[in-house]
Amino acid sequence: METIIKLEEIATHMHLEPAEEVSPRPLLDEATHIAPCGQVLPKGDTIGKKPSLGIHNAVVGSKTVPMIKTMLTTACERNCFYCPFRAGRNYRRTTLKPEEMAQTVSDMYRAGVVNGLFLSSGIIGGGVKTQDKLLDTADILRKKHQYRGFLHLKIMPGAEKEQVARAMQLADRLSINLEAPNDKRLEALAPRKEFVAELLRPLQWVEEIRQTERPFNTWNGRWPSSVTQFVVGGTDETDLEILTTTHYLYSQLNLGRTYFSAFSPIRDTPLENRHAEDPLRQNRLYQASFLFRDYGFDLEEMPFTQRGHLPLDEDPKLAWAREHLTHAPIELNRAERRELLRVPGIGPQGAAAILAARRRGVLRELTDLQAIGVRNVRRLSPFVLLGGKRPLINPNPNQLRLL
């Protein structure tokens, strides 16, 4: 089978895998639908319909790069309950050899079609053997083809520490999907995966190596970032369980990002009759996880309901502020950065702008905030003081007062 046709077949089923943030600007004219995991699908595309090659615009740092998201094989000997690639599911499997994959990606890279590769695989012959094939592909790409593009490489369940270390020399990003927040929940999703030994341990190795070794032998002199993914709503796990593990990953293992993928049932799998998860729950989990990663919030500060879930009708930062800041507003002329970040409507950039503006003068009106780029003044106004007073919303927001 021609390699391009193989890649098209693989792309048809790649919707479960997250790969970087997706740019809202589609790469291909016909690519107009973004799946919950971030995969851009052609117009009208769903599983089993007309596929693209799996190329999408991915946001990597401050750049947007065209990235191909693909697999070495869609065959798998494991049987994860949510997965279209699970063993025994009846559909045509597609496999590429490492040389074939590397050559094809290199050709696309040189033609300017892609500048990034997300490479995963089903497991055949065990995690170690499959990881070797992924490493071979990465090695051929970097060494033989002098590929300098972005490489997001998957670590297979059961991979060995030496393989993880080798992957860290070749990739810009590594991912090991935990899928569930703990071993009990994983048992109900993927009974042949071991939560700690196969999934969590490799993430711990990545951080251990980053902390104890220098990145001399890496392809670009830097250690790769590490990310993971949770399937949300595939079992009866609570947000508290997911965010407990997420908080550990950010605070202890220095993860770049935890992805959340709202469960969606797939035909001919054990979970085909389970209801699809509300995508709003996925969004609330993202908001909470960013509060851990970028805003200094703790797990105990999340507004969990008695059943251990985040409220769906309000974002967690706003819910926290209503409870804690409504009667104790923050004076923006005196607050420290970590306090500024607690105010809804103020993010890292807004906090930096406020701190810089305070060196030039006193912030007295909401229009002063607008003038320095803090736009969402309606959102923050109930929770702040300016010069000791509760600010009033300016009826004419275009009229800015200079500091």
Residue closer to ligand SF4 (CB basis): 237 or 368: 237
- Where do contacts with ligand SF4 occur on this chain (CB under 6 A)? 76, 78, 80, 83, 85-86, 122-123, 190
Cβ 280 to ligand SF4 shortest distance, Å: 25
Cβ 257 to ligand SF4 shortest distance, Å: 19
Residue closer to ligand SF4 (CB basis): 190 or 340: 190
Residue closer to ligand SF4 (CB basis): 195 or 383: 195
Cβ 115 to ligand SF4 shortest distance, Å: 26
> For residue 403, what is the enclosing H or E element?
none
Burial 55-69 (b: 16+ CB within 10 A, else e): bbbbebeeebbbbbb
Cβ 181 to ligand SF4 shortest distance, Å: 16
Residue closer to ligand SF4 (CB basis): 122 or 149: 122
User: For residues 54 and 75, what is the distance between their CA atoms, to the nearest angstrom?
Assistant: 18
Residue closer to ligand SF4 (CB basis): 13 or 56: 13
Cα angle 104, 105, 108 (rounded to 5 degrees) comes to 90
Give yes or no for a contact between 332 and 314, defined as CB atoms under 8 angstroms apart.
Answer: no
Residue closer to ligand SF4 (CB basis): 164 or 310: 164
Residue closer to ligand SF4 (CB basis): 194 or 208: 194
Residue closer to ligand SF4 (CB basis): 37 or 357: 37
User: For residues 310 and 297, what is the distance between their CA atoms, to the nearest angstrom?
Assistant: 15
Cβ 89 to ligand SF4 shortest distance, Å: 9
Assigned token pair, 267? 């035909």
Residue closer to ligand SF4 (CB basis): 108 or 199: 199
Cβ 207 to ligand SF4 shortest distance, Å: 23
What are the backbone dihedrals phi and psi of residue 171, each rounded to the nearest 5 degrees, phi first? -105, 160
Residue closer to ligand SF4 (CB basis): 85 or 195: 85
Assigned token pair, 204? 């711990």
Side-chain half-sphere CA neighbours of 149 within 13 A: 29
- Smallest CA-to-CA distance from 177 within 161, 190, 166 is with 190
Assigned token pair, 289? 């996880």
Assigned token pair, 392? 């009033």
Cβ 10 to ligand SF4 shortest distance, Å: 12
Assigned token pair, 153? 């490489």
Side-chain half-sphere CA neighbours of 399 within 13 A: 5
Q: What is the full DSSP assignment across 138-166? A: HHIIIIIS---SEEEEEPPTT--HHHHHH
**What residues form DSSP beta bridges with 385?**
331
User: At which residue do the structure tokens 């805003």 appear?
Assistant: 295
3-state secondary structure of 228: strand
Assigned token pair, 380? 């923050």
Cβ 214 to ligand SF4 shortest distance, Å: 33
Cβ 16 to ligand SF4 shortest distance, Å: 7
Give yes or no for a contact between 87 and 79, defined as CB atoms under 8 angstroms apart.
Answer: yes
Cβ 230 to ligand SF4 shortest distance, Å: 13
Find the farthest-apart pair of alpha carbons in the chain and give their distance in angstroms, rounded: 72
